[in-house]
């Protein structure tokens, strides 16, 4: 539920294309993925189209960097809502991407053909504070997930020290470097939230390096919301890593 494409300048140039991502996800036996590039959703629609002839469900998403430099995943029920979130984020980013210093931000179609080079400084922080980020996601019907909370950089615990009671995350994501019991022992507040795990893949080989098992009727955003809430027989079984 956290995969970057060629739109994120920190990926390997030309590797994380929609078709390559879909192939790798299917090969790894995944039922659902989310495309969550830094501060943009421009490659979500292409990846959804690339997966149309397969059984893989693709959720449009965006990884927003708050003004406190906390990464938050916004997972949305439709491309339109993800694009509306992106418009607000783009209005809150200052600076132009330096392609030589930072990397190219490549927008592609479902056939992996280059359509544009995004010039927005996507790797930077927005001027939206963490509350406004979560409110933006929820206001568009999305799910707000705190990214890789166990990391020493860009995680909510490393940046804020704790999660305020009035900050309403739908789930917390842990990385492939830690399991549930370790996370709860190291960060007590992890016990108060639904925990998920994702690869945060920047390379094709990373896809499936961490994943989440859930009981749902079928792979969809609607079912995922129910699983996050643990209602109507749906639930998150737990974060997983390949053995």
In this structure, what token pair is assigned to residue 43? 């490659």
Q: 104 near 13, Cβ under 8 Å?
A: yes
What mean pLDDT is reported for the chain?
97
Residue 243 confidence (pLDDT) above 60 = no
Domain at 18-240, CATH homologous superfamily: Metal-dependent hydrolases (3.20.20.140)
pLDDT tens-digit series, residues 194-230: 999 999 999 999 999 999 999 999 999 999 999 999 9
The answer to pTM > 0.75 is yes
Rounded CA separation 156/149 (Å): 6
pLDDT of residue 104: 97
Which sequence spans correspond to the domains of the chain? 18-240
Rounded CA separation 160/163 (Å): 7
Per DSSP bridges, beta strands 143-146 and 211-215 are unpaired
pLDDT tens-digit series, residues 27-42: 999 999 999 999 999 9
pLDDT tens-digit series, residues 108-137: 999 999 999 999 999 999 999 999 999 999
Rounded CA separation 82/61 (Å): 6
């Amino acid at each position: 539920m956290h995969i970057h494409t060629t739109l994120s300048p920190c990926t390997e140039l030309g590797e994380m294309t929609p078709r390559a991502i879909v192939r790798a996800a299917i090969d790894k036996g995944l039922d659902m993925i989310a495309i969550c590039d830094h501060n943009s959703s421009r490659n979500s629609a292409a990846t959804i189209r690339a997966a149309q002839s397969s059984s893989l469900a693709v959720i449009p998403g965006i990884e927003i960097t708050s003004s406190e430099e906390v990464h938050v995943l916004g997972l949305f029920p439709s491309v339109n809502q993800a694009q509306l979130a992106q418009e607000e984020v783009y209005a809150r980013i200052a600076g132009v991407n330096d392609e030589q210093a930072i990397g190219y931000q490549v927008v592609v179609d479902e056939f992996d053909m280059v359509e544009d080079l995004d010039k927005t400084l996507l790797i930077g922080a927005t001027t939206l504070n963490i509350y406004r980020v979560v409110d933006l996601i929820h206001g568009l019907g999305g799910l707000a997930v705190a990214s890789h909370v166990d990391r020493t950089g860009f995680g909510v615990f490393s940046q804020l020290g704790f999660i305020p009671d009035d900050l309403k995350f739908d789930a917390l994501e842990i990385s492939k470097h830690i399991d549930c019991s370790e996370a709860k022992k190291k960060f007590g507040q992890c016990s108060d939230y639904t925990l998920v795990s994702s690869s945060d893949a920047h390379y094709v080989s990373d896809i499936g390096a961490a994943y989440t098992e859930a009981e749902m009727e079928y792979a969809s955003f609607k079912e995922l919301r129910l699983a996050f809430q643990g209602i109507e027989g749906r639930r998150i079984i737990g974060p997983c890593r390949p053995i």
